[in-house]
Amino acid sequence: MAVLTHTDRGIYCAAGDFFIDPWRPVPRALITHGHADHARPGMQSYLATHAALPVLRHRLGTIDAEGIGYGETRRIGGASVSFYPAGHVPGSAQIRVEVDGEVWVVSGDYKVEADGLSEPFEPVRCHHFITECTFGLPVFRWQPQPAVMDQVNGWWRANAAAGVVSMLGAYSLGKAQRLIANVDASIGPVLTHGAVEATNAVLRNQGVDLPDTTHWTGEDGKPPRDALVIAPPGALEGTWARAFGQRSTAFASGWMGLRGIRRRRAGDRGFVISDHADWPGLLSAIAETGAEHVYATHGYTDVFARYLREERGLDAQVWEADYGGDETEEADAA
């Protein structure tokens, strides 16, 4: 039997009797990171990195959960498991599973560019690699982070000079903090929506160094006109956002690289920045694993697997995964 198999509840290891990022309730779940599409409620027990646990508890409430350090090996039944940085968001991990000398790695979500906030991605050698391919098309190629931050700062600076509040839609775990950590705070104050500030507090409490931000409730008078406001994308169209008066809206997502989605979002700007690997990043990560067997999950799976077979000579197939839901809409989590 294979070390890992694809089931209707998630990726399963029979030797250790556990699941990785299951989408239905199971007795034992190993979790790659705290985004809601990978860390679901209802599991009897959870195992995640020490750095991911605070977010899991914040989002899931009282759970039976245990932490593990990066690179630490844990014996679970007949399997040896260890977690390695995925570079996606703080605490995110790839999960390595070894049984009788055969090594499988589940990538979770990952990016290969260091962002100055998340633990940098580490390639893990293996025989079988289960990879996400959210942006598994050649059209997706990211600019370096400093270039994108220059674009954000330029937009913010121009708005501040015109007395227009800058409102930037970004997912509340990962993307928001990445922006907060890398924008030029000398331009003006950074204000946050409650969902973003709650996550900031969790990360600060575990030692993540974030610049100062102010939770804006709308109860303290008019907001500063030179402010940068960071909020979940869905909050930019509601009553909370309208209270800021004259404003310019923008969205930060890898999906902003597609013109149709930029138009549909109807923001003034779209900044192409993602917490997932782009096409070159996916290919380089897979090459560094040395894996001959690759399984593509959530994304452009058919196209990506076919490319790996025909152009890279790998044994590549699709494993469909139920990683979706209200927190993975197109301009949010990516």
pLDDT tens per residue across span 154-199: 999 999 999 999 999 999 999 999 999 999 999 999 999 999 999 9
Does the structure show a pLDDT above 70 at 262? no
Average pLDDT, the chain: 93
Could you tell me the pLDDT band of residue 239, with boundaries at 50, 70 and 90? confident
What pLDDT is recorded for position 329?
41
Residue type, 80: S
pTM recorded for the entire structure: 0.94
What pLDDT is recorded for position 260?
62
What pLDDT is recorded for position 316?
98
Give 98's Cβ-side CA count (13 Å radius).
13
What pLDDT is recorded for position 75?
98
First to last CA, the chain: 34
Does the structure show a pLDDT above 90 at 221? no
* Residue-wise pLDDT tens digits, 78-96: 999 999 999 999 999 999 9
CATH architecture of 145-271: 3-Layer(aba) Sandwich (3.40)
| Gyration radius of the chain's alpha carbons | 20
Is 244 within 8 Å of 220 (Cβ atoms)? no
Does the structure show a pLDDT above 90 at 323? no
What pLDDT is recorded for position 333?
42
Does the structure show a pLDDT above 60 at 68? yes
CA dihedral 183, 189, 193, 195 (to 10 degrees): 60
Sign of CA dihedral 157, 158, 162, 166: negative
What pLDDT is recorded for position 232?
95
DSSP for 279-327 reads HHHHHHHHHHHT-SEEEEEEESHHHHHHHHHHHH--EEEE------STT
Task: Give me the CATH topology for the region 5-139+276-318.
Answer: Metallo-beta-lactamase; Chain A (3.60.15)
Please determine whether the domains at 5-139+276-318 and 145-271 fall in the same fold group of CATH.
no
Domain ranges of the chain: 5-139+276-318, 145-271
What pLDDT is recorded for position 36?
93
Q: What is the percent of the chain with per-residue pLDDT over 70, rounded to a whole number?
A: 94
What pLDDT is recorded for position 261?
66
What pLDDT is recorded for position 217?
87
Work out the average pLDDT over 130-135: 97
Q: What is the percent of the chain with per-residue pLDDT over 90, rounded to a whole number?
A: 86
Work out the average pLDDT over 296-304: 96
What pLDDT is recorded for position 326?
39
